[in-house]
Amino acid sequence: MNKFLRQLLPFGTLTLIIAALAALKPDTFLTMENFSNVLSRSSYSGIIAMGMTAVIISGGIDLSVGSMMALSGMVAGLVMTGNGSVVPTDGLMVLGSFVGILTGILCGVLNGGLITLLNLPPFIVTLGTMSAFRGLSLVMNNGMMFDVPAYTFLGEGTLAGIPVNVLIFCGIALAAFFLLRYTPLGRYTYAIGSNRQAAWHAGVNVRRNLIAVYTIAGLFVGIAAMIATSRTVSAQPNAGLGMELDVIAAVVIGGASLSGGRGTVVGTIVGTLLITFLRNGLTLLGISTNTQFVVLGAIIIAAVALDQAARAKAETA
């Protein structure tokens, strides 16, 4: 199997799933409404996966994204509602959104700073901040949510018939694609993930670049948090629970290597859509969410196993 075919593998699987679903459930699956709904639902995990792609290419991992999303949402909710005391006005909602996104950025800076300045493994640092961010979001309103009933634009709004959140996802995906492929920061990210020592010996400022990568990941989480908040018209301290696994799975299915140096934005998008359509299809087929977890787990292992087998073959041939 050559390189081109290998990259097409997840894409082919995705097409297969969509085709199978279209054949099995043409009346419910093949509707504009279902597609729009599915894409809109995958938009915020897709946005987070864009940041995760960069983090994983750099040889790191970010387990804190789910908690970070909850925290950013809660901070935004706090600002919008004046800690639950006022009904959000348009001005407060805009301000809240910015502060929420800023929270994501700061969380990313914290992750990147701890990892590079204390020289700790990303797994450990983000395992810690995963717990801490979750705790903070719960503490903020005693475990209660902030209701923001009028905050619907990002969740339900459309532009020219396309959901706003899907448009934002597309924009961020383009930006991430461009960043990783056409900027020195992206190039250094690949180099650091491939061989950190070699990158440093070639003059790459490893610390600064890693902090930048985690900060961008945080920015994307902040944006995703606003969409998630808008979709549920409430900021929930339990938002994004277990989400890191879905996101990491999407990146890995898309062909990235957890040991770094390898991964693409296009691959991750395919991985995200694959997971989303699979979920959607299983639901339409009447398979319970509990069983879906098992199927998803099997798919992740199968995808990586196939990819690795193809790679081994390509390298010995």
Partner 1 sequence: MTGISKHFGPVQALRDVHLTVRAGTVHALVGENGAGKSTLMKILAGVYQPDAGRIEIDGRPQVFAHPAQALAAGISMIYQELDLAEHLTVAENIFLGAEPRGRLPFTISHRQMIAQATRLARRFSFDIDATARVEDLATGDCQIVEILKALRHHASILVMDEPTSSLSEREAARLFEVVRRLRQEGLAIVYISHRLEEIIDLADEVSILRDGVLVHSAPTARLDIPTIVHYMVGRELTDFFPTRTARIGDVLVQVQDLASAAGIRDIRFEVRRGEIVGMAGLVGAGRTEIARALFGVDPKTAGQVRLNERTMSIDSPADAIAGGIALLTEDRKRTGLCLELPCSWNITLPSLAQIGFTPFIKPARESRIAAEVGARMAVKWASPEARAGSLSGGNQQKLLIARWLLANSRFLIFDEPTRGIDVGAKAEVYLLLNQLAEEGKAILFISSELPELFGIADRILVMRRGRLVGNLVTKQTTPEQVMHLAAVEERA
* CB burial string 216-229: b at 16+ within 10 A, e below: bbbbbbbbbbbbbb
Nearer to partner 1 among residue 118 and residue 317 (C-beta) = 317
Nearer to partner 1 among residue 202 and residue 241 (C-beta) = 202
Angle 242-304-48 from CA coordinates, rounded to 5°: 35
Minimum distance between the CB of residue 51 and partner 1, rounded to whole angstroms?
20
Nearer to partner 1 among residue 5 and residue 202 (C-beta) = 202
Q: Indicate if the alpha-carbon torsion angle 262, 251, 266, 192 is positive or negative.
A: negative
Please check whether residue 210 is in contact with residue 113, taking contact to mean a CB–CB distance below 8 angstroms: no
Nearer to partner 1 among residue 152 and residue 195 (C-beta) = 195
Binding mask 249-288 for partner 1 (x = CB under 8 A): ------------xx--------------------------
C-beta neighbour count of 312 within 10 angstroms: 10
Give backbone dihedrals phi and psi of 159, rounded to 5 degrees, phi first. Answer: -125, 120
Which helix (H) or strand (E) segment is 147 a member of? Answer: strand 146-147
User: According to CB under 8 A, which residues from 183 to 222 bind partner 1?
Assistant: 183-184, 187, 190-191, 194-195, 197-205
Q: Name which position in 32, 118, 159, 317 contacts partner 1 (CB under 8 A).
A: 317
Minimum distance between the CB of residue 190 and partner 1, rounded to whole angstroms?
6
Minimum distance between the CB of residue 215 and partner 1, rounded to whole angstroms?
17
Please check whether residue 123 is in contact with residue 63, taking contact to mean a CB–CB distance below 8 angstroms: yes
Q: What does the block give as tokens for 147?
A: 């209701």
Nearer to partner 1 among residue 137 and residue 268 (C-beta) = 268
Interface with partner 1 (CB under 8 A): 181-184, 187, 190-191, 194-195, 197-205, 261-262, 316-317
